[in-house]
Structure formats: structure tokens, C-alpha cells
Amino acid sequence: MTPVVAQGTFDLLHPGHVHYLRDAAEMGEELHVIIARSENVTHKAPPVVPDQQRREMVAALKPVDEAHLGHPEDIFVPIERIDPDVIALGYDQHHDEERLQAALSERGIDCEIRRASPLDRDDPERLLSTGRIIDRILEERTD
């Protein structure tokens, strides 16, 4: 087996998430997804959907073999347990690949870091970001 790890918030699911997870699944044979805990989503508004519910929905998606709730303090704990061959970063994720690679090496984790491809975010017919879904709700369902 060639385990691959994908990760993210996955708040309100949309086809961009499915695209990322399909792309990540093709990088190996067994896809593990780490769901960021709400308390660790500090670079944008925290998710609306509770942690366990986000994990449950991601686990139900076809490309996904296992979905894990992330560690509260140390993001390398689940990685050490899964021991992936590849970590697939999303096309827009803010993580610095070199720093991440260095931190992995320091812990003796030998794995490749790859970037997944984007699914057209600017398509006017689709809502391919959680933030855009929330904006649409606020526009259309509030007075």
C-alpha cells in the first residue's frame, strides 16, 4: 500500500473539495484525510460545522479510505501514525513546502510533498469555495 495524506478544514463541502481528494487519491493507493480542528483554523474564519461532523462527511466521500480528526496540538502526530509516502497539499494552501519538508525530516518522516491542482474557482456558474457559499447565503437569506 502507498498511503497518501490530504488535509484541510472541509467546512461546507463543494466540488473543489472532491476534486482535491480525487487528485490526492491518484498520488497513491490509500487516501487518509486529516480534518483540521476548529481551534487550529486560525488563518480564516473558523468552520461553522462541528469537527466530528466534518470528519463524518469527508469519510463518506468515494476517494477517501479513512478520515481522521487532527491532533489538537501537534500536526505531526497523525502523520507519524499514518506514515504516508506522499502529503498532498491543496493548490492554495498556505503551508511552506520547504519548511514542512524540513520539519518532517527532523522527525525522521520520509515522505514526498506534492501540490494538487485547482478546479476553476472563478467559474460564475459554480460555488467552488466554502467562503463563497457562505457569502451567497448571507446575500440571499438575510434582510
Ligand X SMILES: Cc1cc2nc3c(=O)[nH]c(=O)nc-3n(C[C@H](O)[C@H](O)[C@H](O)COP(=O)(O)O)c2cc1C
Ligand Y SMILES: Nc1ncnc2c1ncn2[C@@H]1O[C@H](COP(=O)(O)OP(=O)(O)OP(=O)(O)O)[C@@H](O)[C@H]1O
Q: What does the binding site for ligand X look like in residue numbers (CB under 6 A)?
A: 7-9, 34, 36-37, 40-41, 70-71, 75, 78-79, 87, 90, 93, 95
SS3 content of the chain, % helix, strand, coil (to 5): 35, 15, 45
H helix or E strand, kind and range, residue 5: strand 3-8
Work out what residue 40 binds among ligand Y, ligand X, none; the CB cut-off runs from 5 to 8 Å by kind: ligand X
Binder of ligand Y out of 26, 131, 136, 137 (CB under 6 A): 131
**118 makes contact with ligand Y (CB under 6 A):** yes
- The nearer residue to ligand X, 75 or 134, going by C-beta atoms, is 75
Tell me the backbone φ, ψ of residue 26, rounded to 5 degrees: -75, -10
Phi-psi region of 26 (alpha: psi -120 to 50; beta: other; left: phi over 0): alpha
Site string for ligand Y, 91-110 (x = CB under 6 A): xxx-----------------
Which amino acid is present at 118?
Answer: P
Tell me the backbone φ, ψ of residue 37, rounded to 5 degrees: -70, 145
Tally Cβ neighbours within 10 Å of residue 96. 11
**115 makes contact with ligand Y (CB under 6 A):** no
**4 makes contact with ligand Y (CB under 6 A):** no
Site string for ligand Y, 26-65 (x = CB under 6 A): ------------------x---------------------
